[in-house]
Structure 1
Amino acid sequence: MTDVPDLQRRHFLLGRFAETSQPAEPPVAVITQSCFAHRGVACMSCRDVCPTGAVRFALALGGARPRINTDRCTGCGVCAQACPAEAIRLAPLEAAS
């Protein structure tokens, strides 16, 4: 029986480890019900700091409601840091849908 070389180690040592692993999807922002805008408070802190413009507000009865454009969200977390209600978390794209 022949010895099977450890190809993962070889790829890693040769700098080809990125080719063998699946790229991880970046997380996206998810806005929870504790958001001030859901309570009728005019707060758009997350929209104001988002570098990609992924946070949008849609008019609704009782005030504007936040929405995340998952195609534009990079998962940087700046909106979560700026949220005074701590209503934004980062989650995998599957969980945000």
Structure 2
Amino acid sequence: MGVAMERRAFLRGRRRLPQPLRPPGACAEAVFVARCDRCDGCIRACPERILRRGGGGFPEIDFTRGGCTFCGRCVTACARGALAPWGRGRPWMLEARLDAACLALQGIGCMSCLDACPREAIALRPLCGRLAPQVDAARCDGCGACVRPCPVGAIRMVRREDAARGAA
């Protein structure tokens, strides 16, 4: 479901509006919004150029521009504490989700997501007599490197709690 469709569903009372994907190390949404002064420091600091101004001028991740290398430059650039160092843990709880538009799930030879994943979190598994890509949630660190190379836009990054509830 695209963003426009999600907004229409929300306005009709059928869904909650999804939270934007914030930079790595972002505090809980309410704290993030209270602390972030929308200075664009994190956006300018991102070497991958995947941060952009989103709703209300707050920074958001745009994985169609590429993946996150978790360099931490956005955190260093944040003087207000809206982004915090994550240490050895995960900077966020995102994982890749493939939808029905995936070419490989339709039996068409495509492995762009497998080739792009630096953690080898996407692998081919048997499904209905053929091999189909599946995400290993334990290996996926949510970097989003698989999103941009997908020729049909069939990969989205979702929060792990949304993935556990079955949200697409």
**So what's the TM-score if we normalise by structure 1?**
0.70
Q: Provide structure 1 residue ranges, at least 5 long, that are not aligned to the other structure.
A: 1-14
Q: Which one of 83, 99, 104 corresponds to residue 32 of structure 1?
A: 99
CA–CA separation in structure 1 for the residues paired with 2:101 and 2:129: 15
Q: Which one of 140, 148, 158 corresponds to residue 73 of structure 1?
A: 140
- Describe the SS at the equivalent of 1:79: coil
Identity of aligned residues (%): 38
Q: Which one of 77, 85, 92 corresponds to residue 159 of structure 2?
A: 92
Bigger relative CO (Cα 8 Å, ≥ 6 apart):
1
Kindly report structure 1 stretches of 4+ aligned residues shifted beyond 3 Å: none
CA–CA separation in structure 1 for the residues paired with 2:114 and 2:146: 7
CA–CA separation in structure 1 for the residues paired with 2:151 and 2:130: 18
Q: Residues 31-67 of structure 1: CA distance to partner in whole angstroms, max 9, x if unpaired? A: 0011001111011110011000000111233531111
Count the aligned residue pairs.
80
The correspondence of residues 28-67 of structure 1 with structure 2, limited to 5 A, is: 28-61=95-128, 63-67=130-134
- Is the 8 Å Cα contact of residues 55 and 66 (structure 1) preserved in structure 2? yes
Are 1:82 and 2:155 an aligned pair?
Answer: no
CA–CA separation in structure 2 for the residues paired with 1:83 and 1:36: 9
Structure 1, 42-51 or 52-61: larger mean CA deviation: 52-61
Q: Partner letter of residue 31 of structure 1?
A: L
- Is the 8 Å Cα contact of residues 25 and 93 (structure 1) preserved in structure 2? no
Structure of greater Rg = 1
RMSD: 2.5
Residue 95 of structure 1: how far off its partner (Å): 2.0
Q: Partner letter of residue 46 of structure 1?
A: C
Residue 24 of structure 1: how far off its partner (Å): 6.6
Q: Provide structure 2 residue ranges, at least 5 long, that are not aligned to the other structure.
A: 1-80, 85-89
The correspondence of residues 10-21 of structure 1 with structure 2, limited to 5 A, is: none
